[in-house]
Amino acid sequence: MKKIIRFTSKGLKYICILILISLSIGVTYEQYSRWKLEARVFKNKSFAHILGTKIHYVKKGEGNKTVVFVSGMGSNSTIWEKIQDKVSEKAVTLSYDRSGLFLSNKRTGAITNSSVSRELEELLEKTNCPKPYILVLHSMAGIYVRPFIEEHKNDISGIMFMESAHPLQLKKSSKAFLESLKPPPLWLVKFITFSGIYRTVFSFNRINPEIPVTSAIHNNERDFFYRSVETLFKELKSDTANFNDAIKYSDFGNIPLTVISGTSNIRT
Protein backbone atom coordinates (compact mmCIF):
# COMPACT_ATOMS: atom_id res chain seq x y z
CA MET A 1 0.00 0.00 0.00
CA LYS A 2 2.84 2.39 0.90
CA LYS A 3 4.48 1.74 -2.47
CA ILE A 4 1.22 2.52 -4.26
CA ILE A 5 0.81 5.76 -2.31
CA ARG A 6 4.44 6.73 -2.98
CA PHE A 7 4.07 5.93 -6.68
CA THR A 8 0.80 7.90 -6.91
CA SER A 9 2.36 10.85 -5.09
CA LYS A 10 5.30 10.91 -7.48
CA GLY A 11 2.99 10.63 -10.46
CA LEU A 12 0.91 13.59 -9.29
CA LYS A 13 4.06 15.58 -8.65
CA TYR A 14 5.33 15.00 -12.19
CA ILE A 15 1.92 15.81 -13.64
CA CYS A 16 1.84 19.11 -11.72
CA ILE A 17 5.34 19.96 -12.92
CA LEU A 18 4.36 19.14 -16.51
CA ILE A 19 1.26 21.35 -16.24
CA LEU A 20 3.31 24.25 -14.84
CA ILE A 21 5.90 23.90 -17.61
CA SER A 22 3.15 23.79 -20.25
CA LEU A 23 1.47 26.88 -18.78
CA SER A 24 4.78 28.73 -18.67
CA ILE A 25 5.40 27.93 -22.32
CA GLY A 26 1.84 28.97 -23.20
CA VAL A 27 2.08 32.29 -21.35
CA THR A 28 5.45 33.05 -22.95
CA TYR A 29 4.08 32.21 -26.39
CA GLU A 30 1.01 34.39 -25.80
CA GLN A 31 2.98 37.41 -24.60
CA TYR A 32 5.45 37.12 -27.47
CA SER A 33 2.56 36.87 -29.95
CA ARG A 34 0.95 40.00 -28.52
CA TRP A 35 4.23 41.93 -28.62
CA LYS A 36 4.87 40.90 -32.21
CA LEU A 37 1.32 41.75 -33.34
CA GLU A 38 1.17 45.13 -31.61
CA ALA A 39 4.57 46.10 -33.00
CA ARG A 40 2.96 46.39 -36.44
CA VAL A 41 -0.83 46.60 -36.11
CA PHE A 42 -0.94 50.26 -35.00
CA LYS A 43 1.14 51.50 -37.92
CA ASN A 44 -0.64 53.74 -40.45
CA LYS A 45 -3.93 53.62 -38.54
CA SER A 46 -6.31 56.54 -37.97
CA PHE A 47 -7.57 57.53 -34.51
CA ALA A 48 -9.86 60.20 -33.10
CA HIS A 49 -10.26 61.30 -29.49
CA ILE A 50 -13.93 60.72 -28.75
CA LEU A 51 -15.38 61.48 -25.32
CA GLY A 52 -11.95 61.16 -23.75
CA THR A 53 -11.06 57.86 -25.46
CA LYS A 54 -8.93 57.10 -28.51
CA ILE A 55 -11.12 55.47 -31.18
CA HIS A 56 -9.76 53.66 -34.23
CA TYR A 57 -11.59 54.28 -37.50
CA VAL A 58 -11.24 53.58 -41.21
CA LYS A 59 -12.44 56.30 -43.58
CA LYS A 60 -12.31 55.78 -47.34
CA GLY A 61 -13.80 57.26 -50.48
CA GLU A 62 -15.14 60.58 -51.69
CA GLY A 63 -18.60 61.99 -52.27
CA ASN A 64 -21.50 63.90 -50.77
CA LYS A 65 -22.82 61.15 -48.49
CA THR A 66 -21.38 58.66 -46.00
CA VAL A 67 -22.02 54.95 -45.70
CA VAL A 68 -21.47 54.10 -42.03
CA PHE A 69 -20.65 50.51 -41.07
CA VAL A 70 -21.35 49.59 -37.44
CA SER A 71 -20.31 46.18 -36.13
CA GLY A 72 -22.16 43.85 -33.79
CA MET A 73 -21.38 42.74 -30.25
CA GLY A 74 -17.66 42.27 -29.63
CA SER A 75 -16.86 42.79 -33.30
CA ASN A 76 -14.83 45.47 -35.04
CA SER A 77 -14.07 47.30 -38.28
CA THR A 78 -12.18 44.43 -39.92
CA ILE A 79 -15.37 42.53 -40.80
CA TRP A 80 -16.26 45.30 -43.25
CA GLU A 81 -12.91 45.54 -45.05
CA LYS A 82 -13.84 43.98 -48.40
CA ILE A 83 -17.27 45.55 -48.71
CA GLN A 84 -15.99 48.93 -47.54
CA ASP A 85 -13.32 48.89 -50.23
CA LYS A 86 -16.02 48.29 -52.85
CA VAL A 87 -18.53 50.84 -51.57
CA SER A 88 -15.84 53.51 -51.16
CA GLU A 89 -15.54 53.64 -54.95
CA LYS A 90 -18.84 55.56 -54.98
CA ALA A 91 -19.17 57.20 -51.56
CA VAL A 92 -17.42 58.22 -48.39
CA THR A 93 -17.35 55.22 -46.04
CA LEU A 94 -16.61 54.89 -42.35
CA SER A 95 -16.08 51.83 -40.17
CA TYR A 96 -14.68 51.87 -36.65
CA ASP A 97 -13.96 49.94 -33.47
CA ARG A 98 -16.21 50.85 -30.57
CA SER A 99 -14.38 51.77 -27.38
CA GLY A 100 -12.68 48.75 -25.83
CA LEU A 101 -12.71 46.68 -29.02
CA PHE A 102 -9.70 45.79 -31.19
CA LEU A 103 -7.56 48.96 -31.51
CA SER A 104 -9.79 51.41 -29.62
CA ASN A 105 -9.08 52.24 -26.00
CA LYS A 106 -11.41 51.16 -23.21
CA ARG A 107 -14.03 53.40 -21.63
CA THR A 108 -15.31 53.21 -18.08
CA GLY A 109 -18.99 52.72 -17.27
CA ALA A 110 -21.76 50.55 -18.65
CA ILE A 111 -22.23 50.08 -22.38
CA THR A 112 -25.63 51.47 -23.28
CA ASN A 113 -27.47 52.32 -26.48
CA SER A 114 -27.08 55.98 -25.57
CA SER A 115 -23.32 55.74 -24.97
CA VAL A 116 -22.74 53.90 -28.26
CA SER A 117 -24.93 56.39 -30.14
CA ARG A 118 -23.16 59.36 -28.62
CA GLU A 119 -19.76 57.89 -29.50
CA LEU A 120 -20.86 57.39 -33.11
CA GLU A 121 -22.33 60.89 -33.31
CA GLU A 122 -19.11 62.56 -32.18
CA LEU A 123 -16.96 60.32 -34.39
CA LEU A 124 -18.93 61.29 -37.49
CA GLU A 125 -18.55 64.97 -36.60
CA LYS A 126 -14.83 64.82 -35.83
CA THR A 127 -14.01 62.87 -38.99
CA ASN A 128 -15.99 65.34 -41.13
CA CYS A 129 -18.22 62.71 -42.71
CA PRO A 130 -20.70 64.37 -45.08
CA LYS A 131 -24.43 63.96 -44.59
CA PRO A 132 -26.72 62.23 -45.34
CA TYR A 133 -25.73 58.97 -43.69
CA ILE A 134 -26.57 55.48 -44.86
CA LEU A 135 -26.30 53.17 -41.86
CA VAL A 136 -25.23 49.54 -42.31
CA LEU A 137 -25.87 47.82 -38.98
CA HIS A 138 -24.78 44.30 -38.11
CA SER A 139 -26.33 42.23 -35.31
CA MET A 140 -26.41 44.23 -32.02
CA ALA A 141 -25.61 47.44 -33.88
CA GLY A 142 -29.29 47.37 -34.87
CA ILE A 143 -30.03 47.79 -31.16
CA TYR A 144 -27.18 50.06 -30.11
CA VAL A 145 -27.66 52.94 -32.53
CA ARG A 146 -31.43 53.40 -32.24
CA PRO A 147 -31.06 56.57 -30.13
CA PHE A 148 -28.74 57.92 -32.85
CA ILE A 149 -31.37 57.17 -35.49
CA GLU A 150 -34.07 58.86 -33.40
CA GLU A 151 -32.01 62.03 -32.99
CA HIS A 152 -30.77 62.21 -36.60
CA LYS A 153 -33.71 61.14 -38.74
CA ASN A 154 -33.26 64.14 -41.00
CA ASP A 155 -29.61 63.24 -41.58
CA ILE A 156 -30.18 59.59 -42.51
CA SER A 157 -31.17 58.57 -46.04
CA GLY A 158 -31.20 54.82 -45.52
CA ILE A 159 -30.78 52.00 -43.00
CA MET A 160 -29.64 48.46 -43.73
CA PHE A 161 -30.04 45.78 -41.06
CA MET A 162 -27.53 42.97 -41.61
CA GLU A 163 -28.57 39.98 -39.50
CA SER A 164 -29.81 42.57 -37.03
CA ALA A 165 -30.89 41.81 -33.49
CA HIS A 166 -34.54 42.58 -32.65
CA PRO A 167 -35.66 44.44 -29.50
CA LEU A 168 -38.03 41.61 -28.57
CA GLN A 169 -35.76 38.66 -29.27
CA LEU A 170 -34.89 38.03 -25.62
CA LYS A 171 -38.52 38.25 -24.56
CA LYS A 172 -39.59 35.88 -27.35
CA SER A 173 -36.80 33.31 -26.86
CA SER A 174 -37.26 30.14 -24.82
CA LYS A 175 -35.47 29.69 -21.49
CA ALA A 176 -33.55 26.75 -22.91
CA PHE A 177 -32.27 28.85 -25.80
CA LEU A 178 -31.24 31.71 -23.52
CA GLU A 179 -29.44 29.26 -21.23
CA SER A 180 -27.49 27.93 -24.20
CA LEU A 181 -26.21 31.44 -24.92
CA LYS A 182 -24.75 32.02 -21.47
CA PRO A 183 -20.97 32.43 -21.68
CA PRO A 184 -18.43 30.80 -19.35
CA PRO A 185 -17.14 32.93 -16.44
CA LEU A 186 -14.98 35.90 -17.41
CA TRP A 187 -12.09 34.72 -15.20
CA LEU A 188 -11.98 31.42 -17.09
CA VAL A 189 -12.02 33.09 -20.51
CA LYS A 190 -9.27 35.50 -19.43
CA PHE A 191 -7.18 32.59 -18.15
CA ILE A 192 -7.59 30.66 -21.39
CA THR A 193 -6.62 33.79 -23.30
CA PHE A 194 -3.67 34.76 -21.08
CA SER A 195 -2.22 31.24 -21.10
CA GLY A 196 -2.18 31.02 -24.91
CA ILE A 197 -4.74 28.20 -24.98
CA TYR A 198 -7.24 30.30 -26.96
CA ARG A 199 -4.66 31.31 -29.57
CA THR A 200 -3.37 27.75 -29.94
CA VAL A 201 -6.76 26.03 -30.17
CA PHE A 202 -8.13 28.46 -32.74
CA SER A 203 -5.05 28.30 -34.90
CA PHE A 204 -6.49 24.97 -36.07
CA ASN A 205 -10.22 25.21 -35.25
CA ARG A 206 -13.00 27.57 -36.29
CA ILE A 207 -14.22 30.18 -33.82
CA ASN A 208 -17.38 30.62 -35.87
CA PRO A 209 -18.62 27.54 -37.77
CA GLU A 210 -19.43 29.74 -40.78
CA ILE A 211 -16.00 31.39 -41.03
CA PRO A 212 -13.01 29.38 -42.35
CA VAL A 213 -9.79 29.23 -40.34
CA THR A 214 -7.99 30.82 -43.29
CA SER A 215 -10.27 33.88 -43.28
CA ALA A 216 -8.85 37.28 -42.31
CA ILE A 217 -11.85 37.74 -40.02
CA HIS A 218 -11.01 34.52 -38.17
CA ASN A 219 -7.36 35.50 -37.88
CA ASN A 220 -8.21 38.91 -36.46
CA GLU A 221 -10.57 37.40 -33.89
CA ARG A 222 -7.96 34.84 -32.84
CA ASP A 223 -5.04 37.26 -32.74
CA PHE A 224 -6.68 40.20 -30.96
CA PHE A 225 -9.40 38.64 -28.82
CA TYR A 226 -7.39 39.54 -25.72
CA ARG A 227 -7.92 43.24 -26.48
CA SER A 228 -11.71 42.90 -26.67
CA VAL A 229 -12.66 40.20 -24.16
CA GLU A 230 -13.45 42.49 -21.21
CA THR A 231 -15.58 44.82 -23.34
CA LEU A 232 -17.39 41.85 -24.87
CA PHE A 233 -18.42 40.73 -21.39
CA LYS A 234 -19.47 44.29 -20.52
CA GLU A 235 -21.69 44.27 -23.60
CA LEU A 236 -23.18 40.94 -22.55
CA LYS A 237 -23.84 42.29 -19.06
CA SER A 238 -25.83 45.21 -20.51
CA ASP A 239 -27.71 43.01 -22.98
CA THR A 240 -31.13 42.93 -21.33
CA ALA A 241 -31.17 46.63 -20.50
CA ASN A 242 -30.22 47.59 -24.06
CA PHE A 243 -32.86 45.33 -25.63
CA ASN A 244 -35.51 46.82 -23.34
CA ASP A 245 -34.36 50.35 -24.13
CA ALA A 246 -34.48 49.67 -27.88
CA ILE A 247 -38.21 48.97 -27.69
CA LYS A 248 -38.75 52.73 -27.28
CA TYR A 249 -37.27 53.35 -30.73
CA SER A 250 -39.49 51.30 -33.01
CA ASP A 251 -40.46 54.00 -35.51
CA PHE A 252 -37.87 55.11 -38.06
CA GLY A 253 -40.29 57.44 -39.81
CA ASN A 254 -39.88 57.62 -43.58
CA ILE A 255 -36.28 56.40 -43.67
CA PRO A 256 -35.93 53.57 -46.23
CA LEU A 257 -35.13 50.32 -44.43
CA THR A 258 -33.61 47.14 -45.88
CA VAL A 259 -33.31 43.93 -43.87
CA ILE A 260 -30.83 41.23 -44.92
CA SER A 261 -30.82 37.84 -43.21
CA GLY A 262 -29.04 34.66 -44.21
CA THR A 263 -29.89 31.01 -43.79
CA SER A 264 -27.74 27.92 -43.55
CA ASN A 265 -27.76 24.44 -42.07
CA ILE A 266 -26.06 25.92 -39.01
CA ARG A 267 -28.79 28.51 -38.47
CA THR A 268 -31.73 26.19 -39.20
Distances (CA, A) of 208 to 203, 205, 219, 227, 266: 13, 9, 11, 18, 10
b/e map 15-52, b = 16+ CB within 10 Å: eeeeeeeeeeebeeebeebbeeeeeebeeeeebbebee
DSSP 8-state assignment for residue 155: G
| Alpha helices (H) in the chain, listed in sequence order | 2-41, 81-87, 113-126, 141-144, 146-151, 169-172, 175-180, 186-194, 197-201, 216-237, 239-246
Residue 17 has a pLDDT of 87
Grouping H, G, I as helix, E, B as strand and the rest as coil, residue 171 is: helix
Q: What is the Cβ-side half-sphere exposure of residue 262, based on CA atoms within 13 angstroms? A: 9
pLDDT for 6-64, tens place per residue? 656 677 777 888 889 989 999 999 999 999 999 999 999 999 999 999 999 999 999 99
Mean pLDDT of the chain: 93
* Of the candidates 153, 163, 152, 124, the residue with the CA atom closest to the CA atom of residue 258: 163
Give the right CATH number for 46-260 from 3.10.20.600, 3.40.50.1820, 3.40.50.300, 3.30.365.10: 3.40.50.1820
CA distance 157 to 249: 17
Residue 215 has a pLDDT of 94
For 232, other C-beta atoms within 10 Å of its C-beta total: 19
List, edge to edge, every strand of the sheet that includes 53-60: 46-50, 53-60, 92-96, 66-70, 133-138, 156-162, 257-260
For 62, other C-beta atoms within 10 Å of its C-beta total: 11
Split at pLDDT 50, 70, 90, the class of 2 is: low
Grouping H, G, I as helix, E, B as strand and the rest as coil, residue 47 is: strand
pLDDT score of 248 more than 50: yes
> pTM score, two decimals?
0.91
Grouping H, G, I as helix, E, B as strand and the rest as coil, residue 26 is: helix
Grouping H, G, I as helix, E, B as strand and the rest as coil, residue 144 is: helix
pLDDT score of 4 more than 80: no
Percent of the chain residues topping a pLDDT of 90: 84
Residue 268 has a pLDDT of 44
Residue 210 has a pLDDT of 86
